[in-house]
Chains A and B, each alone.
Chain A
Amino acid sequence: MSAILASPKGWPAILLARAGAADPTDLDAAIKTGAFEGLRRAVRELGPDGTIHEIEASGLRGRGGAGHLTAEKWRTAAGTPATRRYVVANGYGADPSASTDRTLIETDPYAVIEGAAIAAFGIGAEDVFISVRATATEAVRRLEAAVDAATARNFIGDDALGSGRRIEVTVRTVQGAYMLGEETVLLKALDGKRGQPEQRPPHPATRGFRNGPTVVQNVQTLASVPWILVHRAKAFKAIGLGDAPGTILVDVRGHERSGVAEAPLGTPLERVVELGGKPARGRTLKAVVVGGPTGGILPPSELSTPYTFADLRAVGAHVGSGSVIVVDDRACVVDLARLLTRFSADEACGKTIPCRIGLRRIAEIGERLSTGTSRGGDLDLLADLSADVVGSGLCDHERLATLPMMSGLRYFRDELDAHLLRGECPAGVCNPTRLGATA
């Protein structure tokens, strides 16, 4: 398990409220701290409609990266005529450099289960799948133990909390590809198919798992739900910033420390960066990679950006996996962008031309820059190609995968030019052959 970073005094604890419990799978201990109170309120007091209404009033947005309104998905799924509906908790954690979702499952499996059960109750689903990465063995073990314990005590199961409703929670392990984090891909993997995205719309909330309305929700989103029902929507709205209420987990790789922390949405990026400590003596902060492999590379001048879905997108990054990687002056932005793009290109599913060929060509531009073999017009080509990939991509992966190179172009033009025009790497990382020396 990754370390949990200490957060400053005054930051609220919603997702990691039960961190530090002696045994996170101990149901009695969890009940003492309020587990399943939210589900009880939903079942006894609010009813399905009231539950969705309360979530709507809280303004909760999905923590899986895109920040869609959660209540909107629930309402769509509840309102689509169907015989079977499904809830899928996305705990896959696609980004290898972020362990936010895994940390949440390990510290508080009951919050995820309870949130998923409330979602199932709200939309009228009987089957809940919690998908976890098979290699996260400790998270799988704790989650399975928690599901068993909660079923034995009738919080979930054939007659959940005496509501007369069957809510069956199953833990499903998946592995083998980065793309499994994407919701339509995840649904296909759960159904034994090849992991390639589907065109949306129809969104899974209308037609998803086995063609039934399916609410796919990140585990952090679901873990926020019980808190909202217990402490009321108003209290939730008071945390965070504007239309991005609540808290989110970030995985900070800082100058001194690395680990997972819970931050209120809207926290300025520099506060998040500070969680990882200060640069070593003689070093300076050069850039911050926000959003994981498809994240944007932001310069220090953008550190006042509030950490919200919309604000990060506006500066060319995104919330993504919650990963925040601090880069000091030893690193080269071209090399970093090249590496991130190469990863995205290798992990693209291959279904569509922008994903299969577009990303590869963008990665090659990065490789040409870092080896000093660029051709004239490569930067124009990069901008054109990125615009085409964004315009024609099937899923969000290829669209977001243009961000590292494009933010590099936007904020670190000098460094790119040094590689391109003078065959130099200011950080001394790449080994560009000097143009003219060979040709």
Chain B
Amino acid sequence: MSLLPSVVPGLGIVKGMALTLRRFFQPKATVMYPEQPADVATKFRGRLQLLYDENGALKCETCFQCAQACPIECIDMGGMDTKGRFHVHWGPPETYGERREESALRRSGRAVPDPAYEHFAPFDTATVDAIMEAHDHDPKYLLPMLEATQAAFGFLPVSALKRISERTGTWYAQIYGTASYYGHLRFEPPASREQATEVRARRATDAGYLEALGASLGGGSRGSKTIAPRKTVAPRKGGDA
């Protein structure tokens, strides 16, 4: 048997065609992903899945560490970050160009609230370009660049971050990771007072902490100038009058 192919001319082609014909009549294996979800074994290790905690909250904090750490930058995400802000993200421009289109977002079936689209709105590139020029397009000055951008726009428009990414050669994930880390940088125009207070309460800012500390001490720090007024002291049951 093993000798046959070498002595009968054309037998290889016949065998190959036979295989093709056999497969042709077998059921198709193509899965129309993403319209049709793929059947993935639960133990499959390459599966990307975000887990939920016991309270039903997503455990992923959109901290972007996986995106930043991934050596081939295939991880990317959109969602609510810990400050309750929605963001749609993309990796390096050349990898994810198509996904920037609105239609691509729609096709992906992700819920994209309207404000997200505003991030794609045209903006004043000259301002950002001047800021980058002043800092030599050097990613080492990313923080001062972001601060200057926020000073110019009142917040950090995603399109500005995108431009900084393109022009300085810094990955978007890294810029977003940096910008979202620092409490004084924001991605939306200054919020209404109520929203601001809510964010402050959640982020335990210095002022919030001092106020809570003052309240917790129950007046143990009387005469202190630096502790904020104890407006939030809860009424005590049978405490001091």
Interface, chain A (partner B; CB < 8 A): 2-3, 96-97, 99, 134, 174-177, 189, 191-196, 210, 253-258, 280, 293, 325-328, 330-332, 335-336, 339, 342-343, 346-347, 349-351, 356, 427-429, 431
- Check A96–B210 contact: CB distance below 8 A: yes
Q: Which residue of B lies closest to A277 (CB)?
A: B223
- Check B204–A256 contact: CB distance below 8 A: no
Task: Encode B128-153 as 1/0 by CB contact (under 8 A) with A.
Answer: 00000000000111111100000000
Interface pick from B17-25, B42-50, B93-101, B176-184: B176-184
Nearest CB of chain A from residue B107's CB, rounded to whole Å: 32
Can you give 12 A-B contacts (C-beta < 8 A)? A96-B207, A97-B226, A99-B226, A176-B184, A176-B185, A192-B139, A253-B220, A330-B218, A331-B217, A336-B216, A428-B236, A429-B239
Report the Cα distance A431→B218, complex, angstroms: 15
Interface presence of B221 (CB below 8 A): yes
Instruction: For B61, list chain A residues within 8 Å (CB).
Output: 350, 356
3 closest A-B pairs by beta carbon, nearest first, are A176-B182, A330-B218, A192-B142
Report the Cα distance A189→B210, complex, angstroms: 25
- Check A195–B182 contact: CB distance below 8 A: yes
Instruction: For A346, list chain B residues within 8 Å (CB).
Output: 202-204
How many residues of B are in contact with the other chain, CB < 8 A? 45
- Check A192–B143 contact: CB distance below 8 A: yes
Partner of B65, one of A2, A293, A351: A351
Partner of B181, one of A97, A194, A356, A429: A194
Instruction: For A350, list chain B residues within 8 Å (CB).
Output: 61, 63, 65
Nearest CB of chain A from residue B218's CB, rounded to whole Å: 3
- Check A258–B223 contact: CB distance below 8 A: yes
Nearest CB of chain B from residue A27's CB, rounded to whole Å: 28
Interface presence of B219 (CB below 8 A): yes
Task: Encode B55-85 as 1/0 by CB contact (under 8 A) with A.
Answer: 0000001010100000000000000000000
- Check A192–B203 contact: CB distance below 8 A: no
Instruction: For B227, list chain A residues within 8 Å (CB).
Output: 97, 253, 258
- A97-B210, A427-B239 are known contacts. Are A336 and B217 too (CB-CB below 8 A)? yes
SS class, residues of chain A in contact with chain B: loop
Instruction: For A347, list chain B residues within 8 Å (CB).
Output: 204
Q: Which residue of A lies closest to B182 (CB)?
A: A176
- Check B140–A191 contact: CB distance below 8 A: yes
- A175-B182, A255-B220 are known contacts. Are A339 and B213 too (CB-CB below 8 A)? yes
Please give 7 more A-B residue pairs, beta carbons under 8 A apart, in addition to A177-B181, A192-B145, A336-B216.
Answer: A2-B225, A176-B184, A258-B225, A326-B221, A330-B240, A343-B209, A346-B202
- Check A194–B178 contact: CB distance below 8 A: yes
- Check A330–B222 contact: CB distance below 8 A: no
Q: Which residue of A lies closest to B143 (CB)?
A: A192
- A97-B210, A429-B236 are known contacts. Are A335 and B223 too (CB-CB below 8 A)? no
